[in-house]
A and B are shown apart, each in its own frame.
Chain A
């Protein structure tokens, strides 16, 4: 089976519709960002405190917000995290807005106490089995089990507690709704079960994770994200300038910029958060997009060596057609793996995989329809300046290959 055998599409001749499409997308992205008042930052870049909580039933957002506002100063946001594998999860957050680390830390601790006060049974004297830890549970059960005449050595007790917690955490995502769900825990018996029911209760929520980022750390992370991006782009430019003529380098970098801008614009359009892992995805895309562009440029260079009479446009077209099969295949295969991540990878990676999904599509497209036309435009412009009286199409310029370009031909 072979797609794209000896194709001959006129990519560079029909470049205008695609350039316009690029511009439209970029503008749409910027408009979205402007209208929504900037990008949506994740906790990494935006100072604040966050708590992710899983509920046993669809979470009552308004009730949560009202309860939080009673204890916490400032705005409280309650966001539904359901989707991409998460069920009944919310993210409760407060922003810093000029508060220092003291207040943020207090807020983060308060969020937990408010949850217990609102949804748990703080006055009952019992231990919340859905939000407890090894030491606390062991200490609680030790005496109770002894008085219930269940004889366990200290080691057996610790193992039992570990098994109970493992059952809750790995089999039920940290939240059980009925004590009977623990009946399959190794070592469980009637005496232990009744002690559990007596000493513990099951809150309808489970705190999954918590983050707090103060102003100092937030500023630090923002700086690092920007630096990493700038350095990576600079590194790319240097590498391509080393391998090709400078205009090719410029074309490749502009294509990469274009990819990054459109992807960020899409993030804004689809209301997604930008976190440190998203930046990681963007940088990976930069590297990946460079790949595609280099492959096409390599081919152009190889073809230019052997063409004497063809125009640059024709040579470029041929190069793109020749590499079309490879480009579509590799992008397609990488896209398959990334789509798998997006669908099944879970909520933590959703921003990351979304960036990759958009980026691969845009990146492949830009290597063909953005990078090469830029080089073409430049050479046409340069030629017109050089020989203003020449008629017909300009002859394909001799490409100065970089000093150390390997003579082993590449695609």
Chain B
């Protein structure tokens, strides 16, 4: 009994030390203790603050873009081979991701005489498309299923990479972007930004498609129009060939947007801009500077050289952020000037550095918690935890007297093991998780109550103290297992189907209950044995 007791005590002491290590390491000062504690216990989003965003990549945009590029190339190729395509082919315009498979190019009016030449051109140059003929002159093209699957996957992956670059710029530790495979959807991505304190800015940074183009402003109409209607009226209702109207971003103090008539074909796009940086110019106005790729540089030099004195517009996602006059030929570096604020310049530089998204992203759900709520919640969790703990300790001591001390010690050890396990597993502690810890306190004592009540019963039937303790533990064992199994099964399903905070709850409760089997049985028994071994021939047990 003595040797057994010693082994048990060593096991318990070792467990305590290991757990303390996991929670606070070996601190040398109070500051270090707090530091280690904060580092080891990872806080969930609802306690730390931050944003949890689920977004859907609008892959149909990428499919449409691919189709439109194919149309442009097809027109050029057809011209080279003298095949007549009288009308610009149409690309269908599905609005939701579910219709991505329905993107179709419709070509009308190809002369029957050139049918075979046309078909040869398509099958050799655009092998990813399937060509079907509707009648003698009209055709339809659709992406091959396997190529469509590739396009979808690639689009989602590029979106994830681009967004990943952008949030890295935010400098949020432990931020993550990943595919979110819920409900079988392939297009959903989950973005987690723990600790981000400006969710609105983060959302904007993530969600901006950021297609950047530098286009020439129509020379004949280079003063802005007051509105779109005004522009159409002055132009006689039709836009000149290959030109479009874009609004300029309203600056502070302006009421509405002014509109510019610009070319549809960009001189250079964001893809050719490198090393973007934000900064201030001589008059303390914000600007974004960039250098150009060799190809882009040549094109830009040629354009600016030819158009000195004309205006250029920098268009971001269809809105002009800056319009400036070309003063001289620009070779390989440029500056976008006249931006409204530091934020705008910084974000623009970020978009240039990370690249544009291959498709729009649509927010499906958002959960943003500010840091103040997290602090309040932790405080409330701790207060209620201590209150519950005190209540339980009081009742146990009053009702079970000295054996109550036994239960309380086991309870403390239980909590320590629970916290250590959370730290070791890098599980995130959420507010429901704290509730789980508190609930564990209540349920953990259950096991002790089971054992104690059984011991009392055995004592009532007249058994000796040692025999009563023995029988009590033995008989209660299976019931303890039973009761723990049912709650753990519940928690297992909660873990499977739940998210974030609820998962935190399931994890803490499960770990707490498993640890409880150890503390309530092994540890309590050891304490009883210790007490019994100290007084030989004990007549009564304080229970």
Chain A interface residues toward B at CB < 8 A? 1-2, 5-6, 52, 54, 85, 101-102, 105, 108-109, 112, 132-136, 139, 165, 168-170, 172-175, 206-214, 216-218, 220, 223-225, 227-228, 231-232, 235-236, 239, 243, 276-277, 279-280, 283-284, 286-288, 290-291, 294-295, 298, 322, 325-326, 329-330, 332-341, 343-346, 348-349, 352-353, 356, 406, 408-411
Contacts and interface: CB of A to CB of B under 8 A. Distances in A.
Contact of A356 (B363, B377, B439): B439
A336 B442 contact: yes
A247 to B, nearest CB: 18
B149 interface: no
Q: 6 shortest A-B CB distances, which residue pairs? A: A174-B372, A287-B490, A346-B380, A133-B198, A334-B442, A337-B388
B496 A228 contact: yes
B475 A411 contact: yes
Contacts of B124: none
Contact of A284 (B342, B449, B482, B509): B509
Interface string B106-144: 000000000000000000000000000000000000000
B487 A340 contact: no
17 contacts: A52-B373, A54-B372, A168-B372, A208-B372, A214-B364, A224-B498, A243-B482, A287-B487, A287-B490, A295-B483, A326-B453, A329-B399, A334-B439, A345-B381, A345-B384, A348-B46, A408-B474
B326 interface: no
A235 B494 CA distance: 12
A408 B477 contact: yes
Given A280-B432, A287-B489, 20 more contacts: A1-B401, A101-B364, A105-B366, A134-B197, A136-B198, A169-B371, A173-B376, A209-B367, A212-B363, A213-B365, A224-B497, A232-B494, A276-B498, A277-B501, A283-B490, A333-B449, A334-B446, A337-B389, A341-B388, A346-B380
B336 to A, nearest CB: 19
A133 B497 CA distance: 34
Contacts of A287: 486-491
Q: Size class of B's contact patch? A: 35 or more
A343 B386 CA distance: 12
Interface in B494-529: 494, 496-499, 501-502, 505-506, 509
B239 interface: no
Contacts of B491: 283-284, 287
Contact residues of A: prevailing secondary structure: helix
Interface string B387-420: 1110110011011010000000000000000000
Contacts of B366: 105, 108, 210-212
Contacts of B439: 284, 334, 337-338, 341, 356
A220 B371 CA distance: 28
Contacts of B343: 136, 139
B454 interface: yes
Given A353-B435, A356-B439, A408-B477, A209 B368 contact: yes
B195 to A, nearest CB: 10
B443 interface: yes
B49 to A, nearest CB: 8
Contacts of A209: 367-370, 373
A236 B486 contact: yes
B365 A239 contact: no
B469 interface: no
A211 B384 CA distance: 26
A54 to B, nearest CB: 8
B74 interface: no
B299 interface: no
B362 interface: yes
Nearest to B454: A411
Contact of A2 (B384, B443, B456, B478): B456
A249 to B, nearest CB: 12
Contacts of B367: 209-211
Contacts of B443: 288, 330, 334
A224 B498 CA distance: 8
A168 B372 CA distance: 8
Contact of B363 (A214, A330, A341): A214
B156 interface: no
B426 interface: no
Contacts of B200: 109, 112
Contacts of B396: 333
Nearest to A171: B375
A283 B436 CA distance: 13
Given A135-B198, A170-B375, A220-B182, A283 B493 contact: yes
B71 to A, nearest CB: 27
A135 B342 CA distance: 11
A52 B376 CA distance: 14
A411 B450 contact: yes
A263 to B, nearest CB: 15
A16 B460 CA distance: 33
B368 A211 contact: yes
A340 B438 contact: yes
Report which residue of B367, B399, B453 has the largest number of chain A beta carbons within 10 angstroms of its beta carbon.
Answer: B453
Contacts of A290: 486-487
B383 A344 contact: yes
B347 to A, nearest CB: 11
A124 B363 CA distance: 32
B391 A206 contact: no
B194 to A, nearest CB: 14
Nearest to B362: A101
A325 B199 contact: no
A286 B183 contact: no
Nearest to B54: A217
A277 B499 CA distance: 10
A53 B114 CA distance: 68
Contacts of B364: 101, 214, 216-217
Contacts of B476: 410-411
B212 to A, nearest CB: 22
Given A276-B502, A330-B445, A235 B489 contact: yes
Contacts of B389: 337
A108 B51 CA distance: 14
Contacts of B482: 243, 291, 294-295, 298, 410
B493 A338 contact: no
A408 B197 contact: no
A211 B373 CA distance: 14
A218 B371 CA distance: 25
B362 A174 contact: no
B485 interface: yes
B421 interface: no
B380 A133 contact: no
B479 interface: yes
B380 A336 contact: no
Nearest to B380: A346
Contacts of A335: 442
